[in-house]
Structure 1
Amino acid sequence: MDRLAGRIILLWGWRRALVAFAAGALAVLAQAPYDFFAVCFVSFPVLVWLLDGATAEPPARFLKRLVPAFAVGWWFGFGYFVTGLWWVGGALLVEADDFAWALPLAVLALPALLAVFYGLAAVLARLFWTGDIGRIASLAVGFGVAEWLRSVVFTGFPWNPIGYAAMPIPLLMQSVSVVGVIGMNALAVFVFSMPALLASNRHLRTGLVLAAALAIAHVGFGYWRLSGPEGASARSLAVRIVQPSILQTEKWDGEVRDRIFRTMLDLSAQPALADGKKPQLILWPETSVPFLFTERPDALVAIGELLGDGQILMAGAVRAEGSSGSNANARYYNSVVAINDAGEIVDAVDKVHLVPFGEYLPFEDMLASIGIEKIVQFPMTFSAGNQRHAVTLAGAIRAVPFICYEIIFPDMVKHDTAMSDLIVNVTNDAWFGDTPGPYQHFRQAQIRAVETSQPLVRAANTGISGFIDDRGRVVDALAINTAGVLDVTVSFPNQSSMSFADQRFVGPLVLLVLFGFACGMRLRQRLRPN
């Protein structure tokens, strides 16, 4: 192991960049749908050894001394994001005539931008680098901070954070209910990097003990939480989840809109599949209504005729405020609307966190002048909703909707579900086909259920639709690219004693403890006699 580490430490130039890229690319296998987390015990030790050798000539100024570390972290991140997000380019090929030119931006430029955060992680780590276990702690802190920044900077894009590699199954997801994603990111890197100590044997026993203790606590807590008795379920909700599997190329085709809408109605009207219980809530995916209700009031009449007494339909739809058509003052929202058995819209929740370049165009006037357009083609740019709120369903059950990738933001979901009983996620992943994208999206919904200790129902146009309980277990789901309905009964056990405020405290506390450990080892190294 010493010999291998030495060769990696001494790499230079393009060879160092290539190994860093390969290590990052390998780490993607730990994410859904592969879930082979063991690869991280290779990727991160290699990253540690690369950073061991990331030094500049002694006369170099402070910032210049950090450039080699940034380069290593950037190449690691570039490999991670290129291989983990290549499927984003599929959205541009849906309308290839208009957007194929932007394919390199999605497949290469986006990963290059996200890799900057991992370059920053490496720089932060090198500031407190030592020759022993302290560097493992500093790397963990660096990634913890960088992943947090990735979730907030430039509206945020926390897709596939490293901590998810340690949560491939519900047994291993439960720790996130205590430390949050911030804590999981740091602790995962800390444990994954420990094999780097095999090369020097310095603090090897301490490192192995710490890694084993954390792993045992991780598994043990998961087992305890999953095996514990369920709270008494005083309420339940019968839900029908509709997955129509409409091709993205047909979604806004005016000639087939009536057929699409009829498909939604026919699927929703199917006889109950399970115990014959009539669904109290019918859930349609994001933008499943293929026209504006203001232009087609007959659609509301048809929905009212579909629904029985007391039933509610929650459907993803584009909502217009002001006159539609040629009126430039009209505003459009990507929304979830609740429709009662009289065919009346009784509530609506607008998407708050829009997708840049997808649902709106940053610096629209400037970019439009040079021919750059948003990917989602609709008469007007979407506007963001002001505030999310719960929709009250049968039995006074409060359901909070999240549209598409809003579900990937931990802090936002935990904050907005503080007073809810059920998470509703509607999405349209048809843009990405049968690629890792829909599986990764579904995994993030699982983890949100664990964090909030709330069940989650999810309707996706082409999949994956399903019901996830409050411990992240997939009770039932529909396979990707299949059309059908899923009837489930959601029960509402007592909530977890771990509150949102507790998680927000514990996650940063983990970073603080690791940072203190790294600083202590750094100080010890400086005070050690030569």
Structure 2
Amino acid sequence: MAIPMMSLPKAGLARLPIPPAMLALGAGVLMVLSFAPFSLFPVAMLAMAIFHQSLVTASPRSAFWRGWLFGAGLFGFGVFWIRISLNEFGNMDAWVAHLLTALFIAVMALYSGAAGWLVRRLDPGPAWVAPLILLPGSTVLLEWVRGWLFTGFPWLSLGYGQIAGPLAGYAPILGVHGLSLLVALSGGLLWCAIRWRHRARIGAGIALAAIWIGGAGLSAVDWTEPSGPPLRASVLQANIPQAIKWDPEASLMIGETYVDLTLEHLDSDLIVWPETALPDFLHQVRAPLLDPLTEQVRAEGAELVLGLPVMDLESGRYFNGLLAIGSQEDLYAKRHLVPFGEFLPFKSWLGPLVRLFEIPMSDFSPGDDRRPLLSVGAHRAGVSICYEDVFPAEVIEALPEAAYLINVSNDAWFGDSLAPPQHLEIARMRALETGRDLLRATNTGISAIIDHRGRLIDTLPAFVRGAVTAEIQPRQGATPFSRFGNAPAVGLALALLLLGGRHNIRRLLQSIFSKWAR
């Protein structure tokens, strides 16, 4: 017998004596605990339930500010490490770095504010629509927009915190935004299970359990299959301090360090160096370093992939490159650059403010490679350089040709903070979404070898010099996510918003058109 949700009583949860604004802020801070290095994945569901509770009695305007507070807690706690790159390595005064970081956090929190506003502005009234329809829809739609608007900042998408939980089973189908949708829906169901009574409460609990049990079941599915024999792979981590990385006097020492580590692992089929492992341009190190190293690597039957800057001598432009040497040579130039870290957007508008950003090598040009593929020996690898791996739609452009994935990075910019474990978590999600093993080489850590289920085969801790060696399995085939990308998750989020708020959307549009007609 169907239960008329419109008449469901809201008893069952005493009104919390905490002001709604504090609830929203606390929920955002709590959400950070679901991400690495804490990895308390069930906390995300609780945080979304608390966030929704803060919106229950709000007007649309109040809901916007409560949503903004949720985002301020999430980003304020989760990405405050941005100030390290600005202050300690960007030569920016501490007060300026803190001010700009706070401004960035305030802007990122606007997306959560907009999600809160949508929930209350479109809520038609039935008790189940806001937590189960509008909350998941608005959360994911705004999260997706945050991932591409103004070059995008997809960090701390809610689904990343589920990489070690049952919901991860949905990642090869729906991707990280699909997991975010399920996190928000789970939070809504948890809220309903607490607020509602009798059979409605039981129904919400059953639905919640079904989602999580279904994810656990899907985790056992292999969406791709092995292709050829395994490869012995080594990932090198030289642990070069960021403070000396770009010092010309350290260049020789850096090159010798990587060569020595490479010679120690020539029994591997594949060796990977980090992003810009060599601080000199390709044309400067080819003859004295890379040509003899190529001969040694080739003689041992190995392949070497290394990061270094590459200059176009005709145009003077330079690129963040990834070079494969050994049986053949191939080059990939980074396509998705980091604003202010690798290029300076709006230089003509910012004027003298540009001088605040004294970051070395901060004027790269984007590469024009059509797809992120690199030929490495007998295989093609799907490659990403640092920040590129946070854009799943770009990573899957390498499939189905890519037999495995490579990500090289330099997280030394962010010191001993939450950033390295968060970035490793993102790389694990890319492996899981694509059904491919992934090699992750970083300058100061955390370097890792990850299997096609997103599990860590082995890691090298931060600020340790050494290497990680393990077998990886080239694979073929495609997961549903690698075929369809973000479209199913984002389409579902949009459909939920349109379905849940259809009546109020119509009224809102009519109001806008009537004002325009005047």
TM tier relative to shorter chain: 0.7 to 0.9
- The match for 1:189 among 172, 184, 192 is 184
Count matched residues. Answer: 489
1:339 is matched with which residue?
325
2:271 is matched with which residue?
282
2:195 is matched with which residue?
199
Q: CA deviation at 1:362?
A: 0.7
1:73-88 matches, cutoff 5 A? 73-88=67-82
Q: CA deviation at 1:32?
A: 0.8
Q: CA deviation at 1:295?
A: 2.8
* SS of 2:321 mapped into structure 1: strand
2:173 is matched with which residue?
178
1:300 is matched with which residue?
290
Cα distance change, pair 191–373 in 1 and its aligned pair in 2 (3 A): same
2:88 is matched with which residue?
94
1:51-66 matches, cutoff 5 A? 51-55=55-59, 66=60
1:360 is matched with which residue?
343
2:152 is matched with which residue?
156
2:457 is matched with which residue?
475
* SS of 1:175 mapped into structure 2: helix
Q: Contact 1:265 / 1:306 at 8 angstroms: preserved in 2?
A: no
What stretches of structure 2 of length at least 5 have no aligned partner? 1-9, 506-518
Q: Contact 1:359 / 1:375 at 8 angstroms: preserved in 2?
A: no
Cα distance change, pair 48–521 in 1 and its aligned pair in 2 (3 A): farther
1:205-224 matches, cutoff 5 A? 205-222=202-219, 224=220
Q: Which moved more, 1:122-131 or 1:313-322?
A: 122-131
- The match for 2:139 among 136, 143, 159 is 143
- TM-score, with normalisation over the residues of structure 1? 0.85
2:514 is matched with which residue?
none
Distance 1:17 1:438 in 2: 31
Q: CA deviation at 1:418?
A: 3.6
- TM-score, with normalisation over the residues of structure 2? 0.87
RMSD: 2.6
Distance 1:376 1:97 in 2: 7
Cα distance change, pair 81–89 in 1 and its aligned pair in 2 (3 A): same
* SS of 2:221 mapped into structure 1: helix
Cα distance change, pair 368–252 in 1 and its aligned pair in 2 (3 A): farther
1:63 is matched with which residue?
none
* SS of 1:352 mapped into structure 2: coil
Cα distance change, pair 68–216 in 1 and its aligned pair in 2 (3 A): same
* SS of 2:248 mapped into structure 1: coil
Q: CA deviation at 1:304?
A: 2.9
Q: CA deviation at 1:148?
A: 0.7
Render the CA deviation track for 1:242-267: whole Å, top value 9, x for unaligned: 11011000101111110111001001
Distance 2:154 2:180 in 1: 11
* SS of 2:416 mapped into structure 1: coil
Q: CA deviation at 1:471?
A: 1.2
Q: CA deviation at 1:209?
A: 2.1
What stretches of structure 1 of length at least 5 have no aligned partner? 56-65, 273-277, 324-328, 524-530
Task: Give percent identity, aligned residues only.
Answer: 30
Q: Which amino acid aligns with 2:26?
A: A
Cα distance change, pair 493–355 in 1 and its aligned pair in 2 (3 A): closer
Q: Which amino acid aligns with 2:271?
A: I
- The match for 2:411 among 429, 433, 436 is 429
Render the CA deviation track for 1:384-410: whole Å, top value 9, x for unaligned: 11123422222x211122000100111
Cα distance change, pair 520–36 in 1 and its aligned pair in 2 (3 A): same
Cα distance change, pair 370–217 in 1 and its aligned pair in 2 (3 A): closer
1:125 is matched with which residue?
119
Render the CA deviation track for 1:150-178: whole Å, top value 9, x for unaligned: 11111111101112233335x54221111
Cα distance change, pair 303–496 in 1 and its aligned pair in 2 (3 A): same
Distance 1:514 1:213 in 2: 20
Q: Contact 1:293 / 1:299 at 8 angstroms: preserved in 2?
A: no
Cα distance change, pair 108–270 in 1 and its aligned pair in 2 (3 A): same
Q: Contact 1:286 / 1:317 at 8 angstroms: preserved in 2?
A: yes
Distance 2:477 2:483 in 1: 14
Q: Which amino acid aligns with 1:80?
A: L
* SS of 2:306 mapped into structure 1: strand
- The match for 2:21 among 4, 17, 24 is 17
* SS of 1:185 mapped into structure 2: helix
* SS of 1:26 mapped into structure 2: helix
Render the CA deviation track for 1:445-488: whole Å, top value 9, x for unaligned: 11101111111111011111111111111111111111112222
Q: Contact 1:400 / 1:423 at 8 angstroms: preserved in 2?
A: yes
Render the CA deviation track for 1:289-325: whole Å, top value 9, x for unaligned: 12123234312234235424243321110101126xx
Q: Which amino acid aligns with 1:6?
A: R
Cα distance change, pair 522–194 in 1 and its aligned pair in 2 (3 A): farther
Distance 1:403 1:375 in 2: 22
Cα distance change, pair 311–271 in 1 and its aligned pair in 2 (3 A): closer
Distance 2:128 2:487 in 1: 26
Cα distance change, pair 30–389 in 1 and its aligned pair in 2 (3 A): closer
Distance 2:282 2:490 in 1: 46
The answer to whether 1:464 aligns with 2:446 is yes
* SS of 2:233 mapped into structure 1: strand
Q: Which amino acid aligns with 1:311?
A: A
Distance 2:168 2:13 in 1: 33
- The match for 1:404 among 386, 396, 413 is 386
Render the CA deviation track for 1:492-519: whole Å, top value 9, x for unaligned: 2443453633454532454356447635
2:500 is matched with which residue?
518
Q: Structure 1 residue runs of 4+, over 6 Å off? A: 520-523
